[in-house]
């Protein structure tokens, strides 16, 4: 019997929508432990399930919420460019390590180059017409990688940067947290990234959806870890009290407890809620959804081969897997963290002219070797409180990273004044679009917006 049939009762319990009381208790606790969430409350709305409400007045620009992600990941392709903590997504190491590692991974370090080419280039840059570096930076930023006339650095320079043997001027003004390897020695922080599971990354069929499978794997593996911790604590307690029936029927209740954060997220099956791409005719919709289901099935098989846990089998059912991916599809927010490498080069550019000339003799070749100096950390994440915010085409708040927001937390700012008791809404789409375009985009989220603006414009 397959897992879905064997554990159908347990799967139904895992997917049962939480009661109002459970929702209230869970979110009250989450808010109590988050010092940047004390101005909001999660409550049922009249029509759209739960929503976020202001517990105090906010002025335009005020921080309404900083939300710690439940689960998130850096996009696979972005890992070459930015070395970040897999947990909080802060840039780590040093400016030198960030730059050296990127140049190395871009393959520039594998070629040998004569140093006079670099110095010739360097003197060209120094004796340039005095045009502002911002222009130079901007032109680099806009160019596509292939159109950039990159001037690679010598291998030794790249390696010295990467091993932090070469200190760049002023880099100590941009200190970063140290790199700590996973204690398990996996070289990746999460244990599900084992060789079998890596196939998920490279599955040609999956295309752009690969990251969402890995994110689902992360959600499942963190639930298993939480379950194991709860079970260990429970067993200890029983032993202390000399009770012989160590676990009895408690295993499933511990799994339910470990699953609770995910149980709170609004979710539907992935293949039922995924947006129908423009190039798929509506007459082919059923076949398209079957294909998506099959894709989920194949990726789940790979995940099972990598980390199946006999005590947590219901988590490996297609029904649960499909709902987890669907939850990300309907709720996830882009994860963006600005790069300190960009700050560093802008700082150099702002130095007094004479000093800048001197420093640029060292930094300009490095800048020229980089394809883009300002690549930020990019990924996707599920945020438990932010994901409770409903949509409005005239929203009262927006996700916006301020200068000081340098980690993976979501920052939600008021975009107008919000009165105590009012619902805090964000826009899921570009709210500057016309009514019909907005409607089309929101249909992908499975609802027809009836905010005051839509009603007025209709
Ligand atoms: C990110 S969740 C928001 C929280 C959700 N209300 C809950 O109960 O968890 C997104 C879902 O909420 C509902 N929703 C959000 N804004 C809405 C709106 N303006 N009108 C109708 N439904 C809305 C839709 O079902 C949508 O797919």
The answer, yes or no, to whether residue 457 has pLDDT greater than 60, is yes
The answer, yes or no, to whether residue 361 has pLDDT greater than 60, is yes
pLDDT digits (tens, 9 = 90+) for 308-319: 999 999 999 999
Quick check: is 188 in a domain?
no
Determine which helix (DSSP H) or strand (DSSP E) holds 42, and give its type and residue range: strand 40-44
**How many angstroms separate the alpha carbon of residue 49 from the centre of ligand 1?**
7
Within this chain, do residues 217 and 296 fall inside the same structural domain, yes or no? Answer: yes
Query: Which of 26, 46, 48, 273 for a ligand 1 pocket mutation test, highest count of atoms within 8 Å of Cβ?
Result: 48
Within this chain, do residues 211 and 247 fall inside the same structural domain, yes or no? Answer: yes
Within this chain, do residues 291 and 323 fall inside the same structural domain, yes or no? Answer: yes
**How many angstroms separate the alpha carbon of residue 63 from the centre of ligand 1?**
22
Q: Give the CA angle between residues 142, 145, 148 to the nearest 5°.
A: 75
Quick check: is 77 in a domain?
no
The answer, yes or no, to whether residue 21 has pLDDT greater than 60, is yes
The CB of 275 under 6 Å from ligand 1? The reply is no
pLDDT category of residue 434 using cuts at 50, 70 and 90: very high
Report the pLDDT value the prediction gives residue 415, as an integer from 0 to 100.
97
Q: In what order do the strands lie in the sheet with 71-74?
A: 71-74, 377-382, 333-337
Within this chain, do residues 231 and 328 fall inside the same structural domain, yes or no? Answer: yes
Report the pLDDT value the prediction gives residue 445, as an integer from 0 to 100.
86
What mean pLDDT is predicted for residues 127-132? 34
Quick check: is 445 in a domain?
yes
The answer, yes or no, to whether residue 245 has pLDDT greater than 80, is no
Query: Which of 44, 447, 452 for a ligand 1 pocket mutation test, highest count of atoms within 8 Å of Cβ?
Result: 447
Quick check: is 329 in a domain?
yes
Instruction: Kindly give, in sequence order, each residue whose CB lies less than 8 Å from that of residue 198, ignoring residues fewer than 6 positions away.
Output: none
Quote the ipTM score: 0.99
Within this chain, do residues 348 and 307 fall inside the same structural domain, yes or no? Answer: no
The pTM of this model reads 0.85
Within this chain, do residues 424 and 443 fall inside the same structural domain, yes or no? Answer: yes
CA 410, chain centre distance (Å): 10
Instruction: Kindly give, in sequence order, each residue whose CB lies less than 8 Å from that of residue 99, ignoring residues fewer than 6 positions away.
Output: 161, 168, 341, 366, 370
Q: Which atom of ligand 1 is nearest to the CA of 425?
A: 16
Report the pLDDT value the prediction gives residue 243, as an integer from 0 to 100.
65
Within this chain, do residues 123 and 61 fall inside the same structural domain, yes or no? Answer: no
Q: Pick the residue whose CA is nearest to atom 15 on ligand 1.
A: 390
The beta strand positions in 255-301, using DSSP E, are none
Q: Which atom of ligand 1 is nearest to the CA of 387?
A: 1
**How many angstroms separate the alpha carbon of residue 428 from the centre of ligand 1?**
10
What range does the domain containing 124 cover?
94-175+340-374
The CB of 48 under 6 Å from ligand 1? The reply is yes
Query: Which of 49, 265, 395 for a ligand 1 pocket mutation test, highest count of atoms within 8 Å of Cβ?
Result: 49
The answer, yes or no, to whether residue 281 has pLDDT greater than 60, is yes
pLDDT digits (tens, 9 = 90+) for 32-76: 999 999 999 999 998 899 999 999 999 999 999 999 999 999 998
Within this chain, do residues 51 and 14 fall inside the same structural domain, yes or no? Answer: no
Distance, in Å, from the CA atom of 282 to the CA atom of 276, rounded to the nearest integer, reads: 8
Distance, in Å, from the CA atom of 3 to the CA atom of 53, rounded to the nearest integer, reads: 40
Quick check: is 59 in a domain?
yes
Quick check: is 134 in a domain?
yes
Within this chain, do residues 166 and 242 fall inside the same structural domain, yes or no? Answer: no
pLDDT digits (tens, 9 = 90+) for 184-219: 554 544 333 344 444 444 443 444 456 889 999 999
Residue given tokens 């105590």 in the structure block: 420
Residue given tokens 């010739």 in the structure block: 120
Q: Count how many domains the chain has.
A: 3
């Amino acid at each position: 019997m397959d897992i879905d049939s064997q554990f159908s009762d347990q799967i139904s319990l895992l997917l049962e929508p939480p009661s109002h009381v459970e929702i209230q208790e869970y979110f009250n606790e989450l808010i109590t432990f988050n010092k940047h969430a004390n101005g909001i409350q999660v409550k049922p709305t009249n029509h759209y399930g739960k929503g976020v409400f202001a517990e105090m007045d906010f002025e335009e620009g005020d921080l309404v919420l900083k939300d710690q992600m439940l689960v998130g990941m850096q996009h696979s392709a972005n890992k070459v460019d930015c070395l970040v903590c897999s947990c909080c997504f802060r840039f780590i190491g040093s400016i030198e390590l960030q730059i050296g590692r990127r140049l190395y991974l871009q393959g520039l370090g594998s070629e040998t180059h004569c140093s006079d080419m670099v110095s010739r280039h360097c003197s060209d840059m120094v004796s340039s017409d005095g045009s502002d570096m911002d222009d130079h930076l901007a032109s680099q930023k806009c160019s596509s990688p292939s159109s950039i006339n990159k001037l690679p650095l010598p291998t030794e320079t790249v390696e010295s940067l990467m091993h932090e043997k070469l200190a760049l001027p002023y880099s100590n003004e941009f200190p970063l947290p140290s790199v700590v390897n996973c204690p398990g020695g996996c070289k990746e922080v999460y244990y599900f990234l084992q060789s079998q599971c890596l196939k998920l990354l490279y599955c040609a069929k999956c295309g752009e959806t690969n990251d969402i499978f890995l994110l689902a794997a992360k959600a499942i593996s963190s639930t298993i870890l939480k379950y194991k911790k709860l079970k260990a604590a429970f067993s200890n307690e029983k032993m202390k009290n000399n009770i012989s029936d160590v676990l009895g029927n408690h295993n499933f209740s511990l799994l339910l407890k470990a699953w609770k954060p995910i149980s709170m997220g609004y979710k539907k099956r992935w293949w039922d809620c995924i947006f129908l791409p423009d190039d798929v005719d509506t007459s082919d919709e059923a076949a398209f959804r079957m294909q998506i289901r099959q894709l989920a099935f194949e990726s789940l098989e790979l995940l099972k081969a990598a980390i199946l846990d006999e005590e947590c089998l219901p988590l490996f059912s297609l029904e649960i897997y499909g709902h987890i991916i669907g939850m990300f599809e309907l709720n996830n927010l882009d994860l963006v963290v600005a790069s300190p490498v960009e700050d560093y080069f802008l700082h150099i550019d702002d130095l007094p002219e004479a000093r800048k000339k001197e420093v640029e003799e060292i930094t300009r070749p490095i800048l020229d070797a980089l394809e883009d100096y300002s690549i930020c950390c990019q990924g996707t994440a599920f945020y438990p409180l932010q994901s409770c915010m409903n949509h409005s085409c005239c929203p009262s708040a927006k996700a916006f990273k301020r200068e000081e927001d340098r980690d993976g937390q979501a920052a939600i700012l008021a975009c107008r004044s919000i009165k105590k008791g009012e619902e805090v809404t964000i826009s899921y789409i570009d709210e500057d679009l016309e009514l019909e375009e907005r409607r089309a985009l929101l249909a992908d989220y499975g609802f027809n917006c009836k905010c005051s603006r839509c009603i007025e414009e209709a």
